[in-house]
Amino acid sequence: MIGSLEGMGKQRPRLRVRMVGLAFAAVFLILLGRSADLQVLQHERLRALADREILRYVETVPRRGVIYDRNQEELAVSLDTESVWARPLSITTPGETGRELAQALGLPADEVIKRLKQEKSFVWIARRVNPERAQAVRALELHGVGLTTEPRRFYPYTSLACHVLGFAGLDARGLEGVEAQYDHLLRGQPQKVASLHDALGRTIQITPAALSGPPEGHQLILTLDKGLQYQVEKILAATVQRYNAKGGQAVVMAPATGDILALASVPVFNPNVFGRYPKESYRDRVITDTFEPGSTFKMFVAAAGLASGKITPDSRFFCENGEWMVGGRVIHDTHHYGQLSVTEIIKFSSNIGAAKIGQTVGAEALHQTFQSFGFGKETTVDLPGESRGILRPARSWRPVDLANICFGQGIAVTGLQLTQAVAAVANGGVLMRPHLVRAVVDAGGRLVQETQPQEIGRAMSPAAAKALTEMLAQVTQPGGTGTQARVDPYLVAGKTGTAQKLNPGGGYSDSEYMSSFVGFVPAGDPKVAILVTIDSPRGQHYGGVVAGPAWARIARAALDSLGVHPSGQGLRRMEAQAAAPGRAARLAADPVPALAAGRVPDLRGFTLRQVIALMRDKNLAVRVKGWGRVVEQNPAPGQQLDEQAMQVVLRPAEGGA
């Protein structure tokens, strides 16, 4: 009995040891299982949770690429500005902090305090503030408040080319104009930058990407000439003001290429502060607004007649002494004309004569010609919001409709469509696609894409285009309706238009007109096709009187811009800038003689396009650094030309309007 008790006494310690061991083993297994759960099963979730605590990501606003004119003058740039942010969850005194911050920024205190009381880890207080306010905030050294650099879009010439350029919003997205059309190229790709924070929310490390600045988008080289655009806008605005008109449009286009050298619409707005203007002012009337073209459309009726072979410039029509009944409606002329040739119908702008030409040609042939000139469809210009105009099917035309269409009623066009169509006449009958972007360049100055002239189709034969040009040239001769559009000593080919506007309730207004002149110059060797349209002028309303003088002034400015001289040579001036500090000097000599003599030409002041064209013509290699105009070259001018590649350094030009 005693032995049994002693045995049991010895087993108890062993049992306790085993129980403790089992307990430790159980705890170990539990810890092991928990560790496996945390490190394996919940690894991703916990890592994400930790990242949220110590890592903070901010998506940077990309820097938009520069927009240049055809001479590499900056029209839109991105400048670094500072924006104020706060972390409400780390601010213990939102009232006091908010009042100090509001005073520094010039904002209502209630608004700032409200933002600081939000249950958020990040809020914007003010975006893109001026340097003085940014410094005032920085001097406060407020806990939980900071500043960051953001690019801000800036248009150095304010309203210049505002409808072409458009504007970009706070998030660096293009909202209107080429800013919107080419947003995917200009904006670039945003990126996220990360920073590490300690338990108190203090930044302890910033990733290198955050210090390198926002990524920059591609750059655009436009077809616009800044100096010409300025002149066109000035002339157009003065004409609108003189006649107390509602607005106006003007387009200058190179017929052979489709390059738009100037495109203007009045009223204008300042894209730097676009929010201060009504949205209606953003509208680019040249491509969005349609209007009945009036008598300018008679040239295309004549084009249809020439294409049909049924008429010649000398074909004669009886113009009914000023009144003609068609389909129960009376068509009037401003004068009581009798017999007129087709040339005289265009020169004197006879409605009855144009309607009789249309009757001779027929509805289907007319419609086909109008389509071939691009009416009733978009020009596909590289701008958003283009209208296609109105050209109803020929089968729906009643006799009176056909007559009305022949003098520009019952059809609607845009200003750009009308310019494109008259440019086709100037271009020997070939219709070109109008465009505003010559080239796209990346941030490093490398060419990404270049716009080549694009033929849309043939609107008329070269012989018919020549005959129509001769008719249109009579419009500006003595007795014609467009004598005030003369640009002596050059011969102008064009057509006046005075179109009654439609009343909102139906019918035509007796006081509202669209006054236009559209044409090209020089008539024998066209360099520019130009449209001027004035909306609802007061006092005078005839196109030749209202739009004609403005057209002539714009034509002179365009010819001067292109370097066209009265000698008739029609030479394009090399696009060098006048000598001034920080600018390349104007080209003083033709490089061709130097090349012919086996010498290195002086390329300073040339654009990249000109350098490449010159070197390509001579089968010479060229190495390029940068973008803009040549400021350095190797070999130097005057040296012997050999097999060595020409090296040039280019920089963007600087300057004002």
67: domain CATH number is 3.90.1310.10
Indicate whether 507 belongs to any domain: yes
Give the separation between CA 278 and CA 284, rounded to whole angstroms.
Answer: 13
pLDDT of 335 above 80: yes
177 and 157 in one domain? yes
pLDDT of 512 above 50: yes
233 and 212 in one domain? no
Mean pLDDT of 118-138: 82
603 and 555 in one domain? no
Residue 526 has a pLDDT of 97
Q: Residue 555: beta bridge partners?
A: none
Structural domain count, the chain = 4
166: Cα separation from own chain's centroid: 6
Tell me, what DSSP letter sits at residue 41?
I
Indicate whether 581 belongs to any domain: no
Indicate whether 160 belongs to any domain: yes
Model pLDDT for residues 149-162, shown as the tens digit of each residue: 777 888 999 999 99
Query: What region, left, alpha or beta, does residue 628 occupy, with left being phi > 0 and alpha being psi -120 to 50 degrees?
Result: left
Beta strands of 101-256 (E only): which ranges? 123-129, 145-154, 167-168, 174-176, 192-197, 203-206, 219-222, 247-253
Give the separation between CA 258 and CA 220, rounded to whole angstroms.
Answer: 17
320 and 454 in one domain? yes
Domain that holds residue 641: 591-651
**Of residues 405, 401, 392, 457, the one with CA closest to residue 427:** 457
Q: Which of 295, 350, 515, 536 is catalytic?
A: 295
644 compared with 217, residue with greater pLDDT: 217
CATH code for the domain in which residue 628 is found = 3.30.10.20
112 and 75 in one domain? yes
Q: Are 594 and 600 in contact (CB under 8 A)?
A: yes
Mean pLDDT of 300-318: 96
Beta strands of 283-410 (E only): which ranges? 316-318, 323-326, 329-332, 339-341
83 compared with 194, residue with greater pLDDT: 83
Indicate whether 300 belongs to any domain: yes
143 and 92 in one domain? yes
* Crossing angle for the helix pair 462-473 and 298-308, to the nearest 10 degrees: 140
Give the separation between CA 218 and CA 190, rounded to whole angstroms.
Answer: 13
Sign of CA dihedral 114, 120, 126, 132: positive
- Residue 240 CB coordination number (10 Å): 22
Model pLDDT for residues 344-393, shown as the tens digit of each residue: 999 999 999 999 999 999 999 999 999 999 999 999 999 999 999 999 99
Question: Two tokens at 482?
Answer: 């467009």
Write down which residue in 523, 542, 562 finishes a domain: 562
473 and 368 in one domain? yes
The CA-CA-CA angle for residues 175, 176, 182, to 5°, reads: 85
Indicate whether 526 belongs to any domain: yes
**Of residues 121, 104, 243, 258, the one with CA closest to residue 535:** 243
- Indicate the average pLDDT of the chain: 83
Give the separation between CA 290 and CA 415, rounded to whole angstroms.
Answer: 8
Q: Are 248 and 240 in contact (CB under 8 A)?
A: yes
Q: Residue 55: beta bridge partners?
A: 196
236 and 213 in one domain? no
472 and 614 in one domain? no
475 and 531 in one domain? yes
Tell me, what DSSP letter sits at residue 574?
P
Residue 51 has a pLDDT of 54
| pTM attached to this predicted model | 0.74
Model pLDDT for residues 598-640, shown as the tens digit of each residue: 778 888 777 665 676 566 556 666 666 655 677 778 888 877 7
Give the separation between CA 519 and CA 531, rounded to whole angstroms.
Answer: 7
**Of residues 556, 547, 555, the one with CA closest to residue 497:** 547
CATH code for the domain in which residue 460 is found = 3.40.710.10
Indicate whether 277 belongs to any domain: no
Provide, rounded to the nearest whole percent, the portion of the chain with pLDDT above 70: 79
Say whether 4 is catalytic. no
Q: Helices marked H in 491-607 — which ranges?
A: 543-562, 591-596
Residue 43 has a pLDDT of 63
Which residue has tokens 């108190």? 200
Model pLDDT for residues 524-538, shown as the tens digit of each residue: 999 999 999 999 999
Query: What region, left, alpha or beta, does residue 309 occupy, with left being phi > 0 and alpha being psi -120 to 50 degrees?
Result: left
Indicate whether 52 belongs to any domain: no
511 and 424 in one domain? yes
Q: Are 351 and 331 in contact (CB under 8 A)?
A: yes
157 and 250 in one domain? no
Indicate whether 231 belongs to any domain: yes
pLDDT of 576 above 50: no
Question: Two tokens at 344?
Answer: 């005289």
Count of H helices and E strands in the chain?
Answer: 21, 26
